[in-house]
Amino acid sequence: MSLREIPAHAIVRAVADAAQRWSDADFPPRVRLLDGIAQRTGYSVPVVEHALDQLFFSMSEPALRATIEGELGSLAALDGFVRREGRPRSWARGLERVAIISSRTTIGVAVAPAVFALCAKARVLVKDREDGLIGAFFATLAEELDDFREAARAQSWDSNATAEDLRTFDAVVAFGRTQTLAEIRATVGPEMRFIAYGPRASAGYVAREQLCDEGSARAIAQGAARDLVLYDAEGCMSLHALFVESGGSVSPTEFGRLLAEQVERASIEFPLGERQPAAAASVANARNLAAFRSATGHGTVFADERATYALFLNPPFDEAPLFLPRSVGIHAVESPAGAAAYLRRHGIALEAFALHDKCRSDVVAMAVDSGAVRLAQFGELQRPPLSGDHGGRPRIADFIRWIDNDL
Amino acid sequence: MSYGTEAAALDDDVLRVIGRWRRGRPLDDAAFDDLALRIFAHQLRYNAAYARYCGSLGVTLRALPATWAEIPPVPASAYKEATLATFDPARSALAFTTSGTTQDVGGRHYMETSALYDAALLAAFDRFVLADGLQLRYLNLVPNPHDRPESSLGYMMARVASARGDGETGWYVRGDDLFFDAFVNDVRAASARAVPVCIATTAFALVHVLDLCSRDDVRFALPPGSRIMETGGFKGRSRAVSRDELYAESARRFGLAREAIFAEYGMTELSSQYYDAVDSRNRATRVKASPPWLRPRVVGPDGKTLAPGTVGALAHVDLANRSSCVALLTEDLGLEVDGGIVLIGRERGAALRGCSLDAQELRAALHA
């Protein structure tokens, strides 16, 4: 039987069941992969464990159902024509073949689009040149539902060999560098759906109202530290620029000190992994330069001796974010306009904005105008819910074509 | 002691070290330590920005380091942030501009006297490049100092050509233009007269020349004694080629033995240069050797010296930097080996990844 003949609810349940098995830290395939992922990414084992937990715990049956129903109206729309209020009967028929290309990503980035493409009953090929996570997860899917054996395949890829194959797919999802994405786009036909996730950054904004006392400031710093430390600030939803308003009881400088404390605490939960000499030298170099600036009257730096992290208070306005592991510039601003000016100056393509849940409307407006596709609380920046959109795009709607039935 | 007297005395001491080395006398550890620490103390007195930085690290005239290896190296990019000189730059004898890397802003390295720079560069050049004593014709694929007086590389080659050349020096780079035809004509003219040449070139200019040679099917047979001195990176101005590949193709194209092609490693922020050690030029891994007044340190993120063989950031103590900062921390990675250092390259941040973030690319785009 092909996946097409399986009811969507059964597919969703099988996916959720497989994800539940992977949520167990002792699940043997997960245990087998752990060291490999840590080695590839350079993250410590606790960080990898956290990433896998987050990935698979979120993939529950209710969450999958809610997402699909939110986008398509019902799960049954994937199985055949269904009534839609005030509209023709329609079928959300899944595309035949979907390719997902990911390389040099954080952990398991291809899993969510693969799962939703499978829920749409498409045959999915993931081309990934990293570790074996996606292949191992597909193997578990096949144990849950044999039809996945044919429908979900994972391959390693090299860019030359891949270009040719892509023309045979109905949709291509690609994560990667702008140049890589442009090359892939050039190889796919004009009718093909090309869903590209290019380089993006994220930012945070702390309004003066949230700096009314040290306790409130510390709570925000705690969340911001988590957003910075997790995945070494390498994810598109990591904290890459932080704006702190002046005029609160806690000054931006004091907030920087609190953040440094919290980064050190967060580093206990998420210890540093194996850092390459180049990365270590980059952070140390940036820290040393900031220390020089500080000594000559410009800005402040909070860092430890080994430069495992570095917080640059008031770096030059003309200096773009450095995108270094566990490092972030803290910009003291008078108002959201200051943050907007900085983001505009550097043309930063934003993914997410971390804010306090009770922040002012002008702050929210600035975050929206900045181009961010997600607003999140500090500490939650790197925990996008499965039921949310992905990079401003729907989760499953890109993998189906609507067939309206006017008969 | 007045500033002038102190500065002159230190300059004399450094010149004496250079002169002695020319006569085959080494510089022992104690003498290096002593001179480095005296120069550093002088800089704490007169180089305000450097002194403030050192002060922030707890190093002051009252708390001096015990050895040269404890002198705080100033980050190379600091030259873009402040004037780092012991004297009024308005009366500098030399001022070289660093390339802008962090904010597209170039820094300036001011030198109070050209005597140290000239003496240091000629002594090292004589030892590492002209050990055979040949008089060469210098064909330079580096900026002409008449066009770019702020280029330390151009200044260096002009000094070398003037002091050691045969009187017919060629310059083939102006701005982004490379005068390939003139270069080919001059190489052929030198070959026809059996005049050995030294082609001094940046890596990207050499790649460009090789590409043009390939396009026009040009080959040379350089006269015996000829050599190519390659001076550094690609800086995004040409296709990047591995050094092995670059040297192999250059050897084929110019009719040279591979060991006749070697690297000079210098920085605008230094007054002295490293060269591929002569005895490593026929080995797979080349070792950068320095004259004795220039010492490297390979340091970890905490600034401490790493064990030999461990990769870290390169710091240098250059006694010829008397009027700026004697200790410099670079963005280059390397490791210490017998006889010098092995250069790994410029640190470029972590091998960053993301769900869609490519930090290297973002960084490149934002800094463009």
pLDDT in tens, A217-238: 999 999 999 999 999 888 889 9
pLDDT at B138 over 80: yes
Structure tokens given for A311: 């917080």
Query: Which chain B residue lies closest to A321 (C-alpha atoms)?
Result: B363
Retrieve residue A257's tokens: 């000190």
Alpha helices by DSSP H, A99-230: 111-119, 133-144, 148-151, 159-165, 178-187, 214-229
Greatest pairwise CA separation for chain A in angstroms: 77
Sign of CA dihedral A73, A77, A83, A89: positive
pTM, full prediction: 0.90
CB contact under 8 A, A235 and B354: yes
Chain B touched by A325 (CB under 8 Å): yes
Sequence-distant (6+) residues with CB within 8 A of B52 are A295, A296
pLDDT band at B239 (very low <50, low <70, confident <90, very high): low
How close is the nearest chain A Cα to the Cα of B95, in Å?
A: 21
A288 and chain B: CB distance < 8 Å anywhere? yes
- Residue range A270-285: average pLDDT? 92
Asked if the model's pLDDT at residue A55 lies above 50, the reply is yes
Residue of chain B minimizing CA distance to A310 = B301
Question: Nearest to residue B327, comparing CAs of B105, B103, B50?
Answer: B50
Shortest Cα distance from A296 to chain B (angstroms)? 6
Cβ-defined contact of B359 to A294 (cutoff 8 Å): no
Of A154-163, A180-189, B79-88, B197-206, the range with the lowest mean pLDDT is A154-163
Mutate to test the interface with A, among B335, B358, B366 (most CBs of A within 10 A): B358
Contact A204, A259 (CB under 8 A): no
Q: How far apart are CA B234 and CA B142, in angstroms?
A: 13
Contact A295 B55 (CB under 8 A): yes
**To the nearest whole angstrom, how far is the Cα of A149 from the nearest Cα of chain B?**
26
- Kindly state the average pLDDT of the residues A285-296: 97
Task: Give the per-residue pLDDT at A157.
Answer: 66
pLDDT at A116 > cutoff 70 = yes
* pLDDT at res. B368: 38
pLDDT at A158: 63
Residue B299 has pLDDT above 80, yes or no: yes
